[in-house]
Every structure is written in structure tokens, then in C-alpha cells.
Amino acid sequence: MPNQMFTDVELRIMSIHVKSQGFVDKLLSESKFEIKVFSAVSDGVADHAFNMELNVMPVSEGGTISFGPAGYTIYRNRAGQIPRFLDAHIAVLEDDSDIRSTAKLMAKVRKTAAFGELTRTVVAAAANPLFAVGMNVAESLMDISIEVLKDNKDDLWLRRFFSFNYNIEGYEGVAEFESDEVKITLQLFTG
């Protein structure tokens, strides 16, 4: 049974820092570019099976994108619906593609056969609680989307998974994930 001591759950990006490259890499590459930040969160709430966010953001090499004290929310539960769990995947990619429109990119994701199958499975599971979903919805969504992004020549810099089962309140706070290219700071808030 989920902990009922809170009514709001939010997952926020607080900052993204693109690390400085080596001297040779600096000479061969541009110092300003765009990154794609993609997140997929599933929460076990029947009418809100997963949440996707994709944003293209300009950043310079060695620069930081700070979203201020409120952060950039990538997940917020619906009023009165306490998540059964929270499975979150986040990826940061260097944007090397010719697709700059988030809407066009998400349309490509939604047109894939794998996304259609995932959607049908989630709808069937929501309509019939006896139907067991033997998959992680957020992970499947992330896999589909990263394949589309890689097909567009985007370079995967960071991919992380984290999960909170039932006791979300005990995990609140700040977490940092880091790769050779980028560091992202997230905050889980309950209230």
C-alpha cells in the first residue's frame, strides 16, 4: 500500500552541466550546440500510465543550464492520485540531427510499430487489472525513443534509470547522475 502521508509527487531537473572537452576535441568541434533531454516516467496510475518529455536546449561546451529553485518538472502526479510506484528513465543526447522540432521527433517515436504495441499493451492492462504487464513501460518507451534518436545521428551521452516502489516519500531529495560528457542534477519532491 502506498504511503499516504503526502499528496504531491514531482520529479524535477535542477541543472544540466556539459563538461569541458579535451584540447584536441575542442579544436575539432564547435563550442556551442544543442542537447536533447528525454525522460520517460511510469507511475502505475491506470489513466496516466506514462509521461514523456523531450526538450532541445542550447548549451555551450563547459556550460550549465540551471532551471532555478523550482527546477524543470518532468513528472507531476495528478491531484488525488498517489503513484503506486515511480520508474524513471532519463537520457541526455548531443543533438547531431537535422530534426530541431520536438513535435516532429515525438511524432516519429509515436509512428513506430514498437510504440503502437506498447500503447496497446498499456491500454489492455489498464482496462483489465487481471492482465499482467510483464514489462517496464518507462524502459520500453525509452528504448524506442533512443533508437529513433540514434537513427537521427544523435550521440547518447547519459542514460540512467531509477525507481521508487511504494515508499516514495523516503527517497525525496537531490540526486546527481554523471557521464564523461554531462552531469544532471534531479530533485524528487513530495508534499
Residue extents of the structural domains in the chain: 9-190
Positions of the chain with pLDDT lower than 50, given as ranges: 1-3, 23-24, 26-28, 130-132, 134-135
| Residue 27 pLDDT | 45
Decide: 141 and 91 in contact? Cβ < 8 Å. no
| Residue 136 pLDDT | 66
Residue for cell digits 528513465?
Answer: 89
| Residue 132 pLDDT | 47
| Residue 80 pLDDT | 73
Q: Which CATH number applies to 9-190?
A: 2.60.40
| Residue 179 pLDDT | 92
**What's the distance, Cα to Cα, between the start and end of the chain in Å?**
18
| Residue 165 pLDDT | 64
| Residue 28 pLDDT | 47
| Residue 102 pLDDT | 62
| Residue 19 pLDDT | 87
